[in-house]
Structure 1
């Protein structure tokens, strides 16, 4: 009985951890976390409520269990969003524009991979599958 309960709780914890991604909006804090946990930072420059390819990337890659499991082990996620309908504070808009300029972002989605110190390891775009996206991420991570 105790073994069955433990198995159920373990499964529930695993499913919960794979169910939601934790997207940060503060890049310096995300870099600190990446350094502490020996992970890389994935910055997603997106137009979450209007950009067709961004919406497709979320559905085809980010919302999959494959990506969620990989991200939990390897990534600190940062979303730099430029929505048209969703409200954002003036401070967040300003910070997002500054990062867009710093990384010379010209289109969405653009994804930047950084190490914990802020060194750029790679730049990615849309990939059709989580496996293809993760392969590109792994190639960037190897530059660490």
Structure 2
């Protein structure tokens, strides 16, 4: 019986480690390079991490789950575009995020856009694949919506 419990604890712990291994880029130029190299679209997460209740809920219910981690590693390049009220940001990140908020027409948080990006002659062009926000029902419901966008590409 002890061996079964130990095995279950180790198995559950492996999911927790997997969820922690996700890399969220904050520099969209770097994310675009990774996206083009790996042929995976970017998942652009527009969030107010320290004040937006729905953003925090989306993180807890979906983005920090083992199911999402496994899916994300296979399907997307993660990009967090944060608009905090209390946390400090570098002027470069703040400027980048403001420009992207305007470019994508973000009016509320959380908003997630799936997009491919290309840079030509110093200009960045995004090909939008779809957008969503909080979806009730946990990771499976949210991933069903996300997969719908990715299957269209």
Q: TM-score, normalised by structure 1?
A: 0.85
Secondary structure, in 3 states, of the residue corresponding to 1:24? coil
Relative to structure 1, is the Cα distance of residues 44 and 141 closer, same or farther in structure 2, using a 3 angstrom cutoff?
same
Quick one: distance in 2 between partners of 1:62 and 1:78?
12
- Which shifted more, 18-27 or 102-111? 18-27
Q: State the distance in 2 between where 1:124 and 1:109 align.
A: 8
Report the alpha carbon displacement of residue 28 of structure 1 after superposing the two structures with TM.
Answer: 2.2
Greater RCO between the two (CA within 8 Å, min separation 6)?
1
- Would you identify which runs of 4 or more consecutive aligned residues in structure 1 move more than 4 Å? 11-15
- Please identify, of 112-121 and 82-91, the stretch whose mean Cα deviation from structure 2 is larger: 112-121
User: What residue is the counterpart of 1:98 in the other structure?
Assistant: 99
Cα distance in 1 between the residues matched to 2:59 and 2:52: 11
**TM-score in terms of structure 2 length:** 0.81
Alignment partner of 2:141 out of 119, 132, 138:
132
1:52 is aligned to 2:60: no
5+ residue gaps, structure 2: 1-10, 119-125
Residue-pair matches, total: 134
Question: What's the C-alpha RMSD, in Å, of the aligned pairs?
Answer: 1.8
- The answer for the alignment partner of 1:143 in structure 2 is 152
* Cα offset, 1:22, TM superposition: 0.7
Aligned to 1:7: none
**Do the aligned residues in 2 keep the contact of 1:114 with 1:120 (CA within 8 Å)?**
yes
Q: Shift of residue 17 of structure 1? A: 3.6
1:57 & 1:21 partners in 2: Cα distance? 16
